[in-house]
Amino acid sequence: MPVTAPNAEGARTVALLQQLIRFDTSNPTGDTAALAAFLRTQFEPLGVQTDVIVAPNGKAVHFIARLKGDGSKKPVLLAAHADVVPVERDKWSVEPFAGIEKDGFVYGRGAMDFKGGMAVFARAVMRLAEQKVPLARDVIFLAEADEEEGQYNTSWLAKDHWDKMDAEFALNEGGYILQGADGAVRQVNVTTVEKTSVVLRLRTNGPVGHASRPLPSNETANGKLIAALEKLSVHEPGIRLIPQTRGYLEALARQNPGPTANAVRKIFAVADGRTQALGERELMAAQPANAPLLRALMHNTMAITMIKSGQAANVIPGQAEAIINARLLPGATTDQLIDEVRRVVGDDAVNVDFATPVSQEATRKYYQAKSNIPESSTDTELYRALRTQAAAVWPQAQVVPVLFEAGTDAVAWRERGVPVYGIYPYPLDADILKGMHGHDERIAVRSLYEGTDWVYRVLLDVAKK
């Protein structure tokens, strides 16, 4: 049964998370040096081998702890990113880097994404060391840098330090453990494949002029860009169901007979586009709290994230630019994406290309390589342990291999053929999900207790002699 009552192991995870939150690792600038040094003080007294790898910028610092086994099996690795996104302090009800516990939650930037996961992963490995569990394989814990933003991420780390992070299989962030209004967990989602994150740039040019003499909007850089963004903002890419999304929807329908199940059946009517679109609208109405996630699982998506134009309030600018963050389903290509954006915009005066510091062709090849990375097999010892031990902790839950709608640093392993399974290792609901990258980010203390129990059980399952 779930370990939800106060207990020493869960309390240690909560305390560790509070300490981790207190290191401001906002990216930019992504300075994780102090956090890495702190982790070393936690692992080394337990006899765990540690490494600290500093990137050329002196700020992106990766921490690696290796708990040794007898080597009869290849290692299992647990990776969690140490950097977090910035905060708007005035929008928070608490200090975002204080690690405050109140009303059954730990608040702070990274509490859910992903220092909470780091605390759960780290404590599971520490517990193996503390209890001197005999191991058949090394257990590696990695606190990675530059996952949210920057060039010194796990792909950089793997180029020169692959021997320190090679494993038979790995855990990373990803799938959500969803709980209902009653607090019961009924679905444990384990990521086996991810969307590809693509950053596009839209640029327009026009005459420069004095703001007191406005020009026709269809001639100005700003006017052209605004018209293009208006079209993109209402554009709805079509539904495409990959096997993982189909499995997710099937599980959702089993748990929710009635309107949700009826909507899913219509979405599966792939030969009838109108019925499929109607099913999606009905599903959004039946599952309003989960609508953004469900939409992301079924579509390629585009979000306007940055707009840049002008240098003075009284000058009509000659150039305007917007950044679009697209997330592509497996099988979709960047050529298709750019063609779609150009078709929707319908204006040759709007230049569409990759936002990249390198060449357009090099970036295209990079995205093409990422899109060809195979999904992680569910026929491994680690995936079976995740499923078995989830049933022990959450008996009512079904485990489902799913698509992750965002992106992670798992690509460094996947492109080398190492299966990676993505989890947010604690139950959460739609309200907690909204806090990811938002204000008052938090995670429930009870969820940390249950996640700690689950991951420790999984490590015993796959690593114990």
Tens-digit pLDDT profile for residues 352-366: 999 999 999 999 999
**Above 90 in pLDDT, residue 272?**
no
Percentage of the chain with pLDDT > 70?
Answer: 98
Task: Check residue 56 and report its DSSP letter.
Answer: T
Q: How confident is the model at residue 5 (pLDDT cuts 50, 70, 90)?
A: low
Cβ contacts of 147 within 8 Å, gap of 6 or more: 81, 83, 114, 153, 154, 408, 409
**Above 70 in pLDDT, residue 6?**
no
pLDDT of residue 431: 86
Q: Average pLDDT, stretch 56-81?
A: 98
Distance CA 105, CA 432 (A): 10
User: In the numeric block, which tokens belong to residue 144?
Assistant: 């990675």
**Above 50 in pLDDT, residue 1?**
no
Edge to edge, the sheet with strand 351-354 lists: 301-309, 319-328, 196-205, 351-354
Task: Please tell me the least confidently modeled range out of 134-138, 174-178, 370-374.
Answer: 370-374
Contact between residue 302 and residue 325 where contact means Cβ atoms under 8 Å apart: yes
Long-range contacts, 267-271 (Cβ 8 Å, 24+): 267/239, 267/241, 267/298, 268/241, 270/241
Query: What domains, with CATH codes, occur in the chain?
Result: 8-194+375-463 (3.40.630.10), 196-237+300-328+331-371 (3.30.70.360), 243-294 (no CATH)
pLDDT of residue 187: 93
Distance CA 77, CA 341 (A): 39
By CB neighbour count within 10 A (0-12 exposed, 13-18 middle, 19+ buried), where does 333 fall? Answer: middle
Instruction: Give per-residue pLDDT as tens, 317-335.
Output: 999 999 999 999 999 999 9
Alpha helix locations (H) across 138-242?
Answer: 154-165, 221-233
pTM beyond cutoff 0.85: yes
77 membership: H or E segment, kind and range? strand 76-81
Q: Is the peptide bond before 268 cis (omega within 30 degrees of 0)?
A: no
Cβ contacts of 304 within 8 Å, gap of 6 or more: 229, 232, 233, 322, 323, 324
Q: Average pLDDT, stretch 185-202?
A: 95
The number of beta carbons lying within 10 Å of the beta carbon of residue 280 is 21
**Above 80 in pLDDT, residue 285?**
yes
By CB neighbour count within 10 A (0-12 exposed, 13-18 middle, 19+ buried), where does 312 fall? Answer: exposed
Distance CA 109, CA 4 (A): 24
pLDDT of residue 4: 59
Percentage of the chain with pLDDT > 90?
Answer: 90
Positive or negative, the CA dihedral 130, 161, 81, 405 is: negative
Instruction: Give per-residue pLDDT as tens, 153-170.
Output: 999 999 999 999 999 999
Higher pLDDT, 434 or 388: 388
**Above 90 in pLDDT, residue 61?**
yes
Instruction: Give per-residue pLDDT as tens, 27-36.
Output: 999 999 999 9
**Above 70 in pLDDT, residue 172?**
yes
Mean pLDDT of the chain: 95
**Above 90 in pLDDT, residue 102?**
yes
Report the phi/psi class of residue 315: left, alpha or beta, with left for phi > 0 and alpha for psi in -120 to 50: beta
Q: Average pLDDT, stretch 431-447?
A: 92
The number of beta carbons lying within 10 Å of the beta carbon of residue 361 is 9
Q: CA-CA distances (angstroms) from residue 90 to 87, 240, 439?
A: 9, 40, 9
Task: Check residue 46 and report its DSSP letter.
Answer: G
Residues in the chain: 465
Task: Please tell me the least confidently modeled range out of 71-75, 181-185, 201-205, 424-428.
Answer: 181-185
Residue whose C-alpha is closest to residue 349's, from 189, 219, 215:
219
Q: How confident is the model at residue 7 (pLDDT cuts 50, 70, 90)?
A: confident
Q: Average pLDDT, stretch 16-32?
A: 97
**Above 70 in pLDDT, residue 245?**
yes
**Above 60 in pLDDT, residue 146?**
yes
Q: Average pLDDT, stretch 21-29?
A: 97
pLDDT of residue 211: 95
Q: Is the peptide bond before 28 cis (omega within 30 degrees of 0)?
A: yes
Task: Please tell me the least confidently modeled range out of 19-23, 271-275, 461-465.
Answer: 271-275
Higher pLDDT, 183 or 85: 85
User: In the numeric block, which tokens belong to residue 362?
Assistant: 């090099």
Q: What's at 367, amino acid-wise?
A: Y
∠ CA 65-23-110, rounded to 5°: 85
Contact between residue 56 and residue 152 where contact means Cβ atoms under 8 Å apart: yes
Q: Average pLDDT, stretch 339-362?
A: 97
Task: Check residue 90 and report its DSSP letter.
Answer: G
Contact between residue 280 and residue 208 where contact means Cβ atoms under 8 Å apart: no
Alpha helix locations (H) across 216-289?
Answer: 221-233, 243-255, 259-267, 273-286
pLDDT of residue 430: 84
Terminal CA-CA length for the chain? 25
Contact between residue 324 and residue 237 where contact means Cβ atoms under 8 Å apart: no
**Above 50 in pLDDT, residue 451?**
yes
Q: How confident is the model at residue 93 (pLDDT cuts 50, 70, 90)?
A: very high
Q: CA-CA distances (angstroms) from residue 125 to 51, 134, 150, 177, 459?
A: 15, 13, 28, 21, 8
Q: Average pLDDT, stretch 431-435?
A: 87
Calculate helix-pair angle for 8-21, 445-463, nearest 10 degrees. Answer: 110
Instruction: Give per-residue pLDDT as tens, 201-241.
Output: 999 999 999 999 999 999 999 999 999 999 999 999 999 99
Q: How confident is the model at residue 141 (pLDDT cuts 50, 70, 90)?
A: very high
